[in-house]
């Protein structure tokens, strides 16, 4: 099975601030399954053409804005499209994406006020992947796919 993974969780410094969000539990999970499954790193923001570092963004009234009010919606949609293209190319059914991000967040995202508050919602790439039929979870929900990966080839 081919599985998409947010690249920052794998230790790549592709976040807006030039850092990674290395997630040890996920690395152990991948180690356990890497001989049976193929994990493909994606970063919708960078793959869509945004630089590292870049201004932090949140979804505000349906648009993606930087903290200074610049509209980056197009870049985020372009990035989400690159991820859906990858899902198509590799017949991806599952994605593990970084929680809370305006691109990768799944079920919860920052509230649009740049105040570190979380609300219900999903990032642009996560939503597009879900609409495309991919089962998207966060790095904190690995138990949801543990059994699936253990039985699938
Ligand atoms: Fe990580 Fe996704 Fe943000 Fe890229 S877009 S840095 S993969 S959360």
Q: Is 40 exposed, middle or buried (0-12, 13-18, 19+ CB in 10 A)?
A: middle
Q: Which residues contact 131 (CB under 8 A, 6 or more apart)?
A: none
Q: What share of the chain has pLDDT > 90, as a percent?
A: 99
At 152, the pLDDT band (50, 70, 90 cuts) reads confident
Q: What is the DSSP string of 130-141?
A: HHHT-EEEEGGG
pLDDT of 111 > 90? The answer is yes
The residue contributing the CA closest to ligand 1 atom 4 is: 43
Query: Which distant-in-sequence residues (6+ apart) come within 8 Å of 145 by Cβ?
Result: 94, 96, 135, 137
Give the model confidence (pLDDT) of 50-97 as tens digits.
Answer: 999 999 999 999 999 999 999 999 999 999 999 999 999 999 999 999
Beta strand pairing status for 2-6 and 38-42? parallel
Whole-number pLDDT of residue 153: 73
Look at the chain and report how many structural domains it folds into.
Answer: 1
Range of the domain at 125: 2-152
Q: Whose CA is nearest to atom 6 of ligand 1?
A: 15
- CA of residue 14 to ligand 1 center, whole Å: 7
Q: Which residues pair with 64 in a beta bridge?
A: 59
Q: What is the pLDDT of residue 39?
A: 98
Query: Which residues surround ligand 1 with Cβ inside 6 Å?
Result: 6-8, 14-15, 43-45, 98, 101, 103-104
For 16-46, how does the pLDDT look when each residue is reduced to its tens digit (9 = 90+)?
999 999 999 999 999 999 999 999 999 999 9
Residue 10 CA to ligand 1 centre (angstroms): 10
């Amino acid at each position: 099975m081919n599985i998409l993974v947010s690249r920052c969780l794998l230790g790549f410094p592709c976040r807006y601030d030039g850092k990674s969000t290395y997630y040890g539990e996920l690395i152990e999970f991948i180690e356990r399954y890497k001989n049976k499954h193929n994990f493909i790193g994606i970063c919708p923001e960078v793959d869509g053409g945004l630089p590292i570092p870049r201004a932090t963004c949140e979804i505000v009234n349906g648009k993606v804005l930087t903290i200074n009010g610049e509209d980056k919606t197009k870049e985020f949609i372009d990035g989400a499209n690159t991820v859906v293209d990858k899902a198509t190319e590799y017949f991806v059914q599952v994605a593990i994406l970084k929680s809370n991000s305006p691109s990768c967040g799944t079920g919860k995202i920052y509230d649009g006020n740049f105040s570190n508050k979380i609300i219900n919602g999903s990032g642009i790439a996560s939503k597009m992947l879900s609409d495309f039929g991919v089962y998207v979870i966060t790095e904190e929900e690995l138990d949801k796919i543990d059994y699936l990966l253990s039985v699938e080839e």
